[in-house]
Amino acid sequence: MDAKNILNEARSLNKRYNFFITINESFLEEPFLKKASGKNAKPSGKNYNEKVKLISVKDNICTKGLRTTAGSKILDNYVPVFDATVIEKIKGKYGVVGKTAMDEFGFGSFSTNCAFNVPKNPLDETRTCGGSSGGGAGYTYLSKYSDSSIGESTGGSISCPAAFCSVVGITPTYGLVSRYGLIDYANSLDKIGTFGKTVKDAVKLLNHIAGYDKKDSTSIKKTKEDYEKYLGKNSKLKIGIIKEFSNGEGISKEVEKEFWNGVKKLENEGMNYDEISFSLTDVFIPTYYIIAMSEASTNLAKYSGIRYGASDELKGTFNEYFSHVRSNNFGKEAKRRILLGTFMRMAGYRNAFYIKALKIRSLIINEYKKLLKNYDVFPKFSEIEKLSPVEAYMSDLLTVGPNLAGLPMISVPVKKDRPIGMHFIADHLQENKIIQIGDFYERIR
Amino acid sequence: MKIDKELIEKVSRVARLNLHEEEKEGFLKDFKDVLEAFAKIKDIDVSNVDLSVHPIKFENVLREDKPEKSLSEKDIFLNTKHKEKRFFKGPRIL
């Protein structure tokens, strides 16, 4: 294989689909390509080491020397001077082809809230890739050379684009993968995960990036696990289906039909399911958005036009200068979330919003934990359309619950090349179960 | 709770964002819609419930107080235009 083909493919797909914000044009100079012999041998595309796999990386993950924008104009010219831990972990095993398109800072569910180009769905160019990790999911579906990608989810940003682009998406337990070097949206919700053409591809990449990291104080200390060993298993898991979602309003008939077809296939293979009730689904969306916006508003306070990111001529006082740079460079949705988040943390409102949401999160986690004592996995479906802010936020109903609770989840296409995902959720650190059932479902669908 | 233009102006000052009139009107409408939709949380009883700052419980993690290698001076200033000698240069304070 000639590595030049990989770059050419990325460029040509990008021209048509806008999957990338930045293509790694120095790709052919990467150390892993230096297989040529001789003292003065230069890296050449023809010397591509086929043991090194190719991946794309969401553009909110810092890559040393490679522009990283988080999909925002305020970081348009930002070139990190360090690698995120996940990038350090894949060195020598995976090469990075480019940084993929996303909603600004992850603020969106459809990859349409982009400061740069909007990525197009690989199955139908008139539709969206889903978001916020849309570019990575779309590229993984179409690329001949790359079978996996690093994404990130705050409230569904891996499961949603995985479903829309008909690829597999794994969102691990909160804290399983280091967030060091991730440009934060909401610290207590953000999780780095993977996309794959198949469950196996997504699992292989997860194996490399999971594990404790002392640079992240929310990283879980646990023995390293080989997730590939859960592939190919036929053990029967007990399935719980949350009624409030499976019979929910606002779900298209076609999606609902495909979901139940998928459940029936699992049932035919001997996996039993019960329909169960979750009492707090009505408050998933407000609880999630109050916490996410509150955290986002503090995280975005660091963009002040001095040390990195967009800047301008130093005019006026500190506050005047910061406000000027921030107002000119944040998009509308970022401003909306900063304002709402700031409000919900302000004296007089904090207890009614932010603190209350953190308490409701405890109730949601407890309810999931209680139900997951009796069931191994919960399947759901992941699915969209011009929406008001409230309508757009409501569209996240199916994914924010497990994200609030930090539970691991996998989205597997209901059928090959169908933009609907079968979504399985398990208890904390039970990646084994979501991988087992995801892989099993992929084989029998 | 009164949601009006004064509130939007106050919040935007705290958040260091300058809004023009059209934006203020738009965000005022968004505030009303979003906060109305989020009002559902009022009905949930959370007496005697602890907060979950994270989805998983973490102990406070502190590293040993030992000096470690950090970024070089060149790297620290690589992304700024506002540098003077070995310092970041900021706007005036007052």
CATH at residue B38: 1.10.20
- For β-strands A239-242 and A168-171, DSSP reports them as unpaired
User: B61 to chain A: nearest residue by CA?
Assistant: A217
With beta carbons less than 8 A apart as the criterion, state whether B36 and A286 touch.
no
Residue B14 forms part of a structural domain: yes
**A37 pLDDT exceeds 60?**
no
Give the closest residue to A422 by CA, choosing from A404, A444, A407: A444
Say which of A217, A316, A365 has its CB closest to residue B55. A365
Does B90 contact A306 at a Cβ distance shorter than 8 Å? yes
Could you confirm whether A323 is annotated as catalytic? no
Give residues 29 to 68 of B whose Cβ lies within 8 Å of A. 30-31, 33-34, 37-42, 44, 46, 49-56, 58, 60-61, 63
Alpha carbon of B5: minimum distance to chain A alpha carbons (Å): 13
Residue A248 forms part of a structural domain: no
Q: What is the pLDDT of residues A210-248, one digit of tens each?
A: 999 999 999 999 999 999 999 999 888 999 999 888 776
| pLDDT at site A379 | 73
Residue A236 forms part of a structural domain: no
Distance CA A292, CA A188 (A): 8
Distance CA A243, CA A255 (A): 15
CATH code of the domain in which A127 resides = 3.90.1300.10
**A438 pLDDT exceeds 90?**
yes
- On chain B, the residues whose CB falls within 8 A of the CB of A287 are 41
**B94 pLDDT exceeds 90?**
no
| pLDDT at site A120 | 96
Could you confirm whether A44 is annotated as catalytic? no
| pLDDT at site A33 | 66
Q: Which of A56, A132, A133, A153 is catalytic?
A: A132
- On chain A, the residues whose CB falls within 8 A of the CB of B19 are 327, 335
Alpha carbon of A58: minimum distance to chain B alpha carbons (Å): 21
**A17 pLDDT exceeds 80?**
yes
* Chain B interface mutation, best of A299, A329, A342, highest count of B Cβ atoms under 10 Å: A342
Label residue A146 by pLDDT band (50, 70, 90).
Answer: very high
Q: What is the pLDDT of residues A304-337, one digit of tens each?
A: 999 999 999 999 999 999 999 999 999 999 999 9
Residue B34 forms part of a structural domain: yes
- In this prediction, residues A394-416 reach a mean pLDDT of 93
- In this prediction, residues A96-108 reach a mean pLDDT of 97
- On chain B, the residues whose CB falls within 8 A of the CB of A407 are 55
| pLDDT at site A52 | 78
Residue B57 forms part of a structural domain: no
- In this prediction, residues B44-65 reach a mean pLDDT of 91
Distance CA A359, CA B59 (A): 19
Does A218 contact B54 at a Cβ distance shorter than 8 Å? yes
Residue B51 forms part of a structural domain: no
Does A362 contact B12 at a Cβ distance shorter than 8 Å? no
**A351 pLDDT exceeds 60?**
yes
Give residues 1 to 20 of B whose Cβ lies within 8 Å of A. 1, 7-8, 11-12, 14-19
| pLDDT at site A30 | 76
Residue A408 forms part of a structural domain: no
Label residue A41 by pLDDT band (50, 70, 90).
Answer: low
**A395 pLDDT exceeds 90?**
no
Single-letter amino acid, residue A311: S
Say which of A218, A311, A339 has its CB closest to residue B58. A218
Could you confirm whether A133 is annotated as catalytic? no
Crossing angle (nearest 10°) for helices A397-404 and A284-299: 70
Its domain, for residue B17, covers 1-42
Say which of A324, A390, A428 has its CB closest to residue B33. A390
Q: Average model confidence (pLDDT) for chain A?
A: 92
- For β-strands A53-58 and A94-100, DSSP reports them as parallel
Its domain, for residue A148, covers 3-228
Residue B80 forms part of a structural domain: no
Residue A16 forms part of a structural domain: yes
| pLDDT at site A140 | 98
Residue A209 forms part of a structural domain: yes
**B22 pLDDT exceeds 50?**
yes
Residue B59 forms part of a structural domain: no
Q: Considering its fold, how many domains does chain A have in total?
A: 1
Residue B5 forms part of a structural domain: yes
Alpha carbon of B41: minimum distance to chain A alpha carbons (Å): 6
Q: Considering its fold, how many domains does chain B have in total?
A: 1
Q: Which of A56, A157, A178, A395 is catalytic?
A: A157
Q: What is the pLDDT of residues A48-84, one digit of tens each?
A: 666 778 899 999 999 999 999 999 999 999 999 999 9
* Chain B interface mutation, best of A359, A393, A425, highest count of B Cβ atoms under 10 Å: A359
**A384 pLDDT exceeds 50?**
no
Q: What is the pLDDT of residues A275-298, one digit of tens each?
A: 999 999 999 999 999 999 999 999
- In this prediction, residues B74-82 reach a mean pLDDT of 96
Cis peptide bond prior to A132, omega within 30° of 0: yes
Distance CA A294, CA A292 (A): 6
User: A81 to chain B: nearest residue by CA?
Assistant: B75
Residue B63 forms part of a structural domain: no
pLDDT: is A383 or A109 the higher one? Answer: A109
> How many other CB atoms sit within 10 Å of the CB of residue B32?
12
User: A326 to chain B: nearest residue by CA?
Assistant: B17
Distance CA A418, CA A385 (A): 18
User: B36 to chain A: nearest residue by CA?
Assistant: A390
B79-87 contacts, C-beta under 8 A, 24 or more apart: B79/A77, B79/A78, B79/A79, B79/A81, B79/A307, B79/A308, B79/A309, B80/A306, B80/A307, B80/A308, B80/A311, B81/A311, B82/A306, B82/A311, B82/A314
Q: What is the pLDDT of residues A248-272, one digit of tens each?
A: 666 788 888 999 999 999 999 999 9
Distance CA A29, CA A96 (A): 12
CA distances from B62 to A177, A216, A334, B54 (A): 19, 11, 32, 17
